[in-house]
Amino acid sequence: MRHLANLKDYTGTEIREILSRAKKIKDNPRHYQDCLKGQSLAMLFQKTSTRTRVSFEVAMTELGGHSIFIDWRSSNFILTGIQHEIEYLSRNVSCIMARLLEHSDVQKMLSSSQVPVINGCCEKYHPCQALTDLLTIMEHTDKPLQDVHLVYTGVQNNVSNSLTLIASKLGLRFTLATPPTDSSSESYDADIQKIIHENAKINHLENPAEAVKNADFVYTDTWIDMQYFNDPGRTAEKDALVEQMLPFQINSALVQDRNCKIMHDMPIHDHYEITPEMVSDPRSIIYLQSANRLHAQKGLLHWLYFDTETVT
Ligand code: CP
């Protein structure tokens, strides 16, 4: 049985297979419209979401299956041990996708589930987003992946961790432009830092202007974890972070007239990590990237349910 926890246990070949299936289904959706007939996906959310919820739900519908949204707070997950609820859930559905606050709870789900579990984003990893991002990059470059230079500017977080992992698996050149690594951050992962230090094609710079030279893709994400963004109790913390992070903003001064594509996993916070004119700049592929959430989820679901690409 396959799960998607964080991409660490996936080979480059397996990731390429998921992306290949995503592209095939995207190009020929009718051929796959009944492949998950009779299958049900449970979608469990401890945190807010637009894209992850919608894209998984539409993916199941368009593959002939069904999805069930479960809000953590209005379910009995709040009353008992996660392992008991997952033991039950995995006997009534054929796949589980969960957006949880803590990766340790994702691991508990993996060990309790009788069916595949997908990490729909936790504090350390966002593997579904990384699959989408690579699908999008492959669609917007003529270069082989090993010649592509992806630059991430912003904070080190779950998104940058998953980009680091997928870049290392697929052989991309990847540059992180962020402030110094904070080992007390909730997203800190020693395995990711090891990759950054040891992989010759993955670098960490603190100067974003230097990082974006020769970039094919320049990518950013929110500076503040989304559940904190509108918390009035965190205003001072947010203000200090904004002052520290403004040099890492994607704006016209940073990308100038460089021949690069601009990416963001959304939701966007205008004037923080990116300026509005960069979102609508001709080089922006942000909305195409977000639309690809649907196609990447389909490729992932197909790969989790079927051993071979030809099974429909
Ligand atoms: N990028 C992403 O995961 O979007 P949502 O938080 O809206 O699901």
Interior CA angle at 121 toward 266 and 170, to 5°? 85
Of all residues in the chain, the percent with pLDDT exceeding 90 is: 92
199 lies in some domain: yes
pLDDT in tens, 159-212: 999 999 999 999 999 999 999 999 999 999 999 999 999 999 999 999 999 999
Q: Are 117 and 49 in the same domain?
A: yes
Give the atom of ligand 1 at the shortest distance from the alpha carbon of 53.
Answer: 8
Identify the three-state secondary structure at position 273. coil
Q: How many domains does the chain have?
A: 2
CATH of the domain at 237: 3.40.50.1370
Ligand 1 is surrounded, with C-beta below 6 A, by: 49-52, 121, 129, 265-267
Residue 2 lies in a domain: no
Ligand 1 atom closest to residue 48's alpha carbon, by position in its atom list: 6
My answer on whether 118 and 204 are in the same domain is no
Residue numbers of the domain that contains 104: 12-126+293-306
| Residue to probe by mutation, ligand 1, list 50, 157, 290, most atoms within 8 Å of CB | 50
Cα gap 22→91, rounded to integer Å: 27
Q: What is the mean pLDDT of the chain?
A: 96
Tens digit of pLDDT for each residue in 240-286? 888 999 999 999 999 999 999 999 999 999 999 999 999 999 999 99
Say if residue 148 is in the same domain as residue 279: yes
Ligand 1 atom closest to 52 (CA): 8
Which of 159, 162, 293, 294 should be mutated for ligand 1, with most atoms under 8 A from CB?
293
Sorting pLDDT into bands at 50, 70 and 90, what band is 227?
low
